[in-house]
Amino acid sequence: MPLNKNQHIAIAGAGLVGSLMSIYLAKHGYKVSVFERRPDMRTNLLDRGRSINLALSNRGIRALAEVGLADKLKKVAIPMHGRTMHDRKGQLRFQPYGKEGQFINSVSRSNLNIVLMNEAESLGVKFYFEQRITSVDFEKTELTIRSTNSEIQRLKFDAIIGADGAFSAVRGSMQLTDRFDYAQSYIAHGYKELHIPADAKGNFKLEKNSLHIWPRESFMLIALPNPDGSFTCTLFFPFEGNPSFNSLKIEREVEVFLKETFADAYELMPDAVQDFISVPPSSLVTVKCYPWVRNNTLIIGDAAHAIVPFFGQGMNAGFEDCRILNQLLDQEKNWETVFNEFQLQRKANTDAIADLALDNFIEMRDLVADEEFLLRKKIEAMLHERYPDKWIPLYSMVTFYENIGYAEAHLIGKKQKQIMDDVMQTPDLKQTWEKLNFAAIVSKLNGYA
């Protein structure tokens, strides 16, 4: 079917990715309707209080910039220049994320979502809330939707984009079609959110411009700053075993555990025990599937590739989806080509970030407390400083170099790891690392970067 500005596009999901995609499409001139299962978060305040924050980085910012929203959002974002690690004794150590001027941004999920929805509406996008998609007819490009009063509607569109998240209903309908590869896999850890409020004057109780980590080998606590002076903390913790969510159920035991394990943080979280006890842990899933297209329906974002949060790239990957899809709408002449090119370009990249995100959990919870690992990072930073275009550390490629695809970053990262594994065998490296032959190390990456 040829692209035509009079066409009516349905988007499933008014989350971050669905809302941004609706803006791109409206700017193209399409008629856009967005269907969301939940109530409007702008009028329904329930979810807004402590809603989690996210790390916005270059890939996400690039897409926001294209729709003219980057500057507006940077104003409410809090730059985080690196990780501050807290050991058991409360001693701190800072590790920058990149070079001077490279940082990630703590943003509130709900604030960002509201900015995107408001912008979309100002461009003519129509949002319909409390509308549950019960099935998709791919032959007819038709949604069956049940609203809260149980009314059932069937609505036909020219194209449908499923941006309805990790438990996507659009993908659910794809799964009923033949030859749809699908995998969902959970990690052994879940998470609970805890909270460090601002002090009496509304100031941050920890260094504001950092992502704080309490790495404890098999689990960790992290904290990201909020504009009101508070931090939202997330405890990533095993479901089973000892200690685990399952082993810690009694108030007194939770208190002892938190106090002993995260002493300095515990002092700052007056409601920690209550927060821990009162809410069940959430689980963490990776979803991979293929194809992402059935006729004139496409899935994007978490619906197509949900990942664990440990590389801070879930939203950024979803926003990058929107940018690439928009690019193809500029270049191509019909929907089949746009959708097919999209999945061909994105599948390997989103598989790569899924795997990188799983790997990074081990780095965050365990390795960042390891001397040798920190030395390795220092050497890589030096390589990058001396050869800025020839050796870009993996974290930087993923986070700050949006022109390097995730798949390419993954590949180069593996090669770098092999090279650095050898380098780390050098005797007395801790004393002598500054005298390494950096040119020789970089030359081994031959053919890359």
Taking CB under 8 A as the binding criterion, the range among 37-45, 76-84, 175-183, 245-253 that sits at the site for a second copy is 175-183
Q: Are 168 and 12 in contact (CB under 8 A)?
A: yes
Closest CB 299 distance from a second copy, rounded Å: 16
Cα-Cα-Cα-Cα torsion 348, 354, 358, 360, nearest 10 degrees, comes to 80
Chain positions 235 to 274 lying near a second copy, rule: CB under 8 A, are 239
Taking CB under 8 A as the binding criterion, the range among 118-126, 172-180, 247-255, 441-449 that sits at the site for a second copy is 172-180
Complex with a second copy: residue 94 or 186, whichever CB lies closer = 186
| Candidate residues 118, 134, 153, 184; the one interacting with a second copy per rule CB under 8 A | 184
Q: Are 365 and 220 in contact (CB under 8 A)?
A: yes
Taking CB under 8 A as the binding criterion, the range among 85-93, 182-190, 219-227, 373-381 that sits at the site for a second copy is 182-190
Chain positions 416 to 435 lying near a second copy, rule: CB under 8 A, are none
**Rounded Cα distance, 142 and 125, in Å:** 19
The token pair that represents 253 in the structure block: 């035991």
**Residue 139 makes contact with a second copy by CB under 8 A:** no
Give me the residues paired with residue 144 across strands.
135, 154
**Residue 401 makes contact with a second copy by CB under 8 A:** no
**Rounded Cα distance, 69 and 20, in Å:** 10
- Does the N-terminal peptide bond of residue 215 adopt cis geometry, omega within 30 degrees of 0? no
Closest CB 12 distance from a second copy, rounded Å: 18
**Residue 153 makes contact with a second copy by CB under 8 A:** no
Give me the residues paired with residue 236 across strands.
191, 220
**Rounded Cα distance, 170 and 142, in Å:** 11
Among candidate residues 76, 268, 73, 34, the one with its CA nearest the CA of residue 170:
34
Written as one letter, the residue type at 108 is S
Taking CB under 8 A as the binding criterion, the range among 10-18, 177-185, 265-273, 309-317 that sits at the site for a second copy is 177-185
**Residue 134 makes contact with a second copy by CB under 8 A:** no
Binding residues for a second copy, how many (CB under 8 A)?
12
Helices (H), 295-370: 302-305, 314-331, 335-365
**Residue 180 makes contact with a second copy by CB under 8 A:** yes
**Residue 181 makes contact with a second copy by CB under 8 A:** yes
| Candidate residues 186, 228, 279, 414; the one interacting with a second copy per rule CB under 8 A | 186
**Residue 179 makes contact with a second copy by CB under 8 A:** yes
Chain positions 267 to 306 lying near a second copy, rule: CB under 8 A, are 283
Closest CB 191 distance from a second copy, rounded Å: 13
- Residue 32's SS3 state is strand
Taking CB under 8 A as the binding criterion, the range among 79-87, 173-181, 210-218, 228-236 that sits at the site for a second copy is 173-181
Return the percent helix, strand and coil in the chain, to nearest 5: 40, 25, 35
Query: Considering just the CA atoms, what is the radius of gyration of the chain in Å?
Result: 23
Taking CB under 8 A as the binding criterion, the range among 181-189, 263-271, 364-372, 381-389 that sits at the site for a second copy is 181-189
**Residue 135 makes contact with a second copy by CB under 8 A:** no
Give me the residues paired with residue 92 across strands.
86
Closest CB 401 distance from a second copy, rounded Å: 32
| Candidate residues 100, 139, 151, 178; the one interacting with a second copy per rule CB under 8 A | 178
| DSSP letter assigned to residue 433 | G
Binding string, residues 64-103; x marks residues near a second copy by CB under 8 A:
----------------------------------------
**Residue 182 makes contact with a second copy by CB under 8 A:** yes
List C-alpha distances in Å: 158 to 5, 9, 34, 142, 152. 11, 6, 14, 9, 20
Query: Integer distance in angstroms from the first to the last C-alpha of the chain?
Result: 39
| DSSP letter assigned to residue 280 | P
The residues binding a second copy (CB under 8 A) are: 175, 178-186, 239, 283
